[in-house]
Amino acid sequence: MKKFLLLLKKELRELLTPQMIVPFVLIMVVFVVIGKTAGKQVASQASAQDEVLVLDHDTGQLSKIALGSAGQIAKITMAKTTNDAQFVSEMNKRQIALGVIIPADFSMSALNKSNATVKTYSTFKDFSLSASKKSSTLSSVVMMINDAVSNGLIQLNSPETNPIKLKNPVLAANFVSANGKTVEGSSAAVLGYISQQTNFVPVILFIVIVFAAQMIATAVATEKENKTLETLLSLPVSRKTIVSAKMIAAGLVSLLMAGIYMHGMKNFIGGIGSAATGSTTTGGNVSGIVYSLGLSLSATGYLELGVILFLGILLALAMAMILGAFSEDAKSAQSVITPLMVMVMIPYFATLLLDINQLSPLLRGILYAIPFSHIFLAAPNIIPGNTTFVLWGMLYLFVMFLIFVYVAAKIFSSDLILTMKLNFSKKKS
Amino acid sequence: MKNILEVKNLCKSYGKFDAVKRINFSVAQGEIFALIGPNGAGKSTTLKMVASILQPTDGSIIIDGVDVVREPEAARHKISYLPEEAGAYKNLTGRGYLQFMAGLYAETKADEKKYLERAIEICGLGRRLKDKLGAYSKGMTRKVMLARALMKEPKLAILDEATSGLDVINALEIRDIIKSCAKSGMTVLVSSHNMLEIEYLSDRVAIIDQGKIIETGSIAELKKRHQAENLEVVFLKLRKT
Ligand SMILES: Nc1ncnc2c1ncn2[C@@H]1O[C@H](COP(=O)(O)OP(=O)(O)O)[C@@H](O)[C@H]1O
Ligand SMILES: [Mg+2]
């Protein structure tokens, strides 16, 4: 036990070097800073109304009513020019991206049962998310104008009718059901909220597993390169102690990273997410619905996710340790773990880009056979309560871990650890 | 005197390549025995097998009555091994490294303290032990490594190319350390490709070439037997025949 602790301490010291910590801290800082500033940006953009420049030629009163109603969703600014030809240049000069020209016969044609036509203008400076939001503002403005005009026409023709009731005689009350519970709410809002909350999970899983694998493969390869491994293996210390100290140290560091990443990414996504949902739907309300449906990750959900991630890290460590034993120096350790990287990448992208349930049974079987798939499939299955699937995944990962750790121990307790190597280029004669 | 090390019919193949082919030798207690031969002769392979980190393809190794192949863990209590060009954990100080190793060799706190003190004395680096190993010269690193290997006064010290790559002064110091340890009863198995230098260190040598021992004996015996002024000439004469 004393020797194990000594080795564990040494492994941790070897892993927690400035070369490892600095890039890690940098990535964290970048994430948090981007998250915070992007969050503020999104929030200010969401709350600020887009400005619309309006040139009103209408001789009647209808345009005033219509613009008043459009003013609820956009900031209406009246143009200085009265000349259509100069309208766009005024938009550019005043840096207003959206514009509407209301014709002189606007009220007249509306009352005459023919269609009135307004001209809308959008100027493009970039094609970012905010540009597309601006273009939707313009169609909303036209919708509000239509709404106001049609309300006016209905009241003009039959003053005792409620125009809102006439236009929407049927109302829908929306319910969402999950986990055997049903709550009033919109499915689109709930789905959006959940994907926001869970999007960051696979990214972290991916980063942490790849990082853990790289870490231990490099550690093994470096010891081989420096011949410190030969010394270590000749000591009166059991090989089990040596292997487990290496694994546990790398496991602890990976878990630490996972925790910090989770926290950082939550801030990052949370910063953008809450600001964005806050303006359109009432964010608090949606999260309340999600919570009462049991669709958010509960404490046990997080625990299950943590356990499966831990098992995944252990398996990755055992595999990477074996792969690291094939390398002769730290440089080749990176290329030696490529097969492991591919095994993590396939389920990562598959779960990100594909609908697993639509896959053919063969492809799905292959995906399920890759142990790391079960990590990426955990969160989407924990949330709707498919606990059995998650538990089978855990069991599978654990069995695979036992197999690979057994192989790793065998390699370390034989001389394979010193003699194994991949000779692609130079063949011994 | 009793034999601390007995090697019989030892063979090692890497795949199809036979690196060590049926070698036999034994080393008595307190003796400094050297395996000498050109690069690639199989010296390191032999030493690694004696040090229990490589498994022989055939043959037996007995250290102080313990069969290394059957009971490697027990054998590891009797030996210490210094790999060829051994590196160290660069982030540790010299003292930190020796302390760490003392902890791994010792079973009790008292032993740990004793080992550390002896290692500090052997390497003779004084205040420089407070510096990181990454900042050490080759000679300093080798002294720390040697101190690490000798700190527990093992029954058998296995030193692969103990002095190779060092300047005259460092090599001389290291040879003196090894000799004084042997005087106090420790048995030493060294290897070297430098046949001239080994005359200053060892009592008996085995000349190994292409995996086979081609001659064994004390240095004086070999020189007389082959009418040569030094071991290099002995080796060249042996090779011609
Ligand atoms: N891990 C290995 N795999 C394949 N061949 C090896 C390995 N280690 C050593 N050899 C070969 O075995 C022979 C003996 O090597 P070694 O014992 O290191 O020689 P020496 O120490 O005498 O210079 C050399 O030809 C070397 O190339
Ligand atoms: Mg050698």
Residues from chain A contacting residue B91 (CB–CB below 8 Å)? 13-14, 17
B19 and B124 together in one domain? no
B121 and B147 together in one domain? yes
Domain count, chain B: 2
- Banded pLDDT at B98 (limits 50, 70, 90): very high
The pLDDT of residue A274? 52
Ligand 1 test: best mutation among B23, B44, B47, B84, most atoms within 8 Å of CB?
B44
Residue type, A309: L
Asked if A231's CB is within 8 angstroms of B89's CB, the reply is: no
B90 and B148 together in one domain? yes
Domain ranges of chain A: 2-41+181-419, 49-168
Helical pair B138-150 and B168-183, crossing angle rounded to 10 deg: 10
By the CB < 8 Å criterion, does B165 face chain A? no
Asked if B89's CB is within 8 angstroms of A10's CB, the reply is: yes
Write out the H or E segment, with its range, that includes residue B95: helix B94-105
Residues from chain A contacting residue B76 (CB–CB below 8 Å)? 234-237
Between CA A85 and CA A156 the distance in angstroms is 35
Ligand 1 lined by B41 (C-beta under 6 Å): yes
Choose which CATH entry (3.40.1710.10, 3.90.550.10, 3.40.50.300, 1.20.1260.10) describes domain A49-168.
3.40.1710.10
User: B12: CA distance to ligand 1 center in Å?
Assistant: 10
- Banded pLDDT at B131 (limits 50, 70, 90): very high
Residues 6+ positions from A412 with CB-CB distance below 8 Å: A233, A239, A242, A243, A325
More confident residue, A70 or B101: B101
Q: Does pLDDT of B66 surpass 50?
A: yes
User: B42: CA distance to ligand 1 center in Å?
Assistant: 6
Contact assessment for residue B53 and residue B61, using Cβ atoms and an 8 Å cutoff: no
The pLDDT of residue A39? 66
Residues from chain B contacting residue A228 (CB–CB below 8 Å)? 86-89
The pLDDT of residue A276? 47
Preferred mutation among A21, A228, A230, A239 to probe B, highest tally of B CBs within 10 A: A230
Nearest-Å Rg of the Cα atoms of chain B is 18
User: B178: CA distance to ligand 2 center in Å?
Assistant: 19
Residue B240, token pair as written in the block: 């011609």
B189 and B229 together in one domain? yes
Ligand 1 lined by B16 (C-beta under 6 Å): no
Residue A424, token pair as written in the block: 């692609």
Between CA A13 and CA A11 the distance in angstroms is 5
Edge-to-edge strand list for the sheet holding B58-63: B17-28, B3-14, B58-63, B66-67
Residue A246, token pair as written in the block: 């290496």
Q: Does pLDDT of B82 surpass 70?
A: yes
Query: ipTM score here?
Result: 0.93
B172 and B64 together in one domain? yes
B69 and B94 together in one domain? no
Q: Which of A228, A236, A415 sits opposite B87 (nearest CB)?
A: A228
The pLDDT of residue A190? 75
Q: Where are the beta strands (DSSP E) in chain B?
A: 3-14, 17-28, 32-36, 58-63, 66-67, 79-82, 156-160, 187-192, 204-209, 212-218
The pLDDT of residue A397? 96
B130 and B229 together in one domain? no
The pLDDT of residue A427? 41
The pLDDT of residue A59? 81
- C-alpha distance from residue A178 to each of A187, A195, A291, A425, B162 (Å): 11, 15, 11, 57, 72
The pLDDT of residue B175? 93
Residue type, A54: V
The pLDDT of residue B94? 94
Asked if B54's CB is within 8 angstroms of A419's CB, the reply is: yes
> Residues A136, A137, A140, A142: is their CA dihedral positive or negative?
negative
B179 and B165 together in one domain? yes
What totals of helices (H) and strands (E) does chain A contain, helices first?
A: 20, 6
Tens-level pLDDT at each residue, chain A (429 residues): 889 999 999 999 888 877 777 777 777 777 677 767 766 666 666 666 788 999 999 888 888 888 888 888 888 999 999 888 899 999 888 888 889 999 988 888 877 777 888 899 988 776 666 666 777 888 888 888 888 888 888 888 888 888 888 888 888 888 888 767 788 877 777 777 666 666 667 877 888 888 889 889 999 999 999 899 999 999 999 999 999 999 999 999 988 888 877 777 666 655 555 544 444 444 456 767 777 776 666 778 888 888 998 899 999 999 999 999 988 888 888 888 999 999 999 998 888 888 887 888 999 999 999 999 999 888 888 877 788 999 999 999 999 999 999 999 999 988 888 888 765 544 443
Between CA A148 and CA A64 the distance in angstroms is 10
Q: In chain A, which residue's Cα lies nearest the Cα of B97?
A: A10
| Mean pLDDT, chain B, integer | 93
By the CB < 8 Å criterion, does B77 face chain A? yes
Ligand 1 lined by B85 (C-beta under 6 Å): no
B222 and B205 together in one domain? yes
Q: Are strands B212-218 and B79-82 parallel, antiparallel or unpaired?
A: unpaired
B35 and B149 together in one domain? no
User: A69: CA distance to ligand 2 center in Å?
Assistant: 90
* Residue B197 CA from chain centroid, whole number: 15
Residue A48, token pair as written in the block: 């600020």
Q: Does pLDDT of B74 surpass 80?
A: yes
Measure A200 CA to nearest chain B CA, in Å. 36
Relative to the CA of B41, which ligand 1 atom is closest?
22
The pLDDT of residue A312? 93
Asked if A418's CB is within 8 angstroms of B86's CB, the reply is: no
Predicted confidence (pLDDT) per residue in B22-58, tens digit: 999 999 999 999 999 999 999 999 999 999 999 999 9
Q: Which of A3, A227, A236 sits opposite B86 (nearest CB)?
A: A227
Nearest residue CA, atom 21 of ligand 1?
Answer: B44
Q: What is the pTM for the complete model shown?
A: 0.77
By the CB < 8 Å criterion, does A426 face chain B? no
Predicted confidence (pLDDT) per residue in B184-207, tens digit: 999 999 999 998 889 999 989 999
Contact assessment for residue A96 and residue A53, using Cβ atoms and an 8 Å cutoff: yes
Would you tell me how many other CB atoms lie within 10 Å of the CB of residue B43? 25
Ligand 1 lined by B14 (C-beta under 6 Å): yes
By the CB < 8 Å criterion, does A418 face chain B? yes
Residue A151, token pair as written in the block: 């309300």
Residue B226, token pair as written in the block: 């082959």
Query: Of A29-33, A99-103, B75-79, B86-90, which one has max mean pLDDT?
Result: B75-79
Residue A63, token pair as written in the block: 């345009």
Contact assessment for residue B179 and residue B171, using Cβ atoms and an 8 Å cutoff: no
Ligand 1 lined by B208 (C-beta under 6 Å): no
B56 and B93 together in one domain? no
User: B40: CA distance to ligand 1 center in Å?
Assistant: 6
Query: Where does A52-128 have alpha helices with state H?
Result: 62-70, 84-93, 106-111
By the CB < 8 Å criterion, does B200 face chain A? no
The pLDDT of residue A386? 83
The pLDDT of residue A314? 93
Query: Domain of B97?
Result: 86-153
Residues from chain B contacting residue A235 (CB–CB below 8 Å)? 76, 101, 104-105
B216 and B167 together in one domain? yes
By the CB < 8 Å criterion, does A11 face chain B? no
Put residue B82 in one of left, alpha, beta given phi > 0 → left and psi -120 to 50 → alpha: beta
Pick the closest to residue B36 from B237, B210, B205 (CA basis). B205
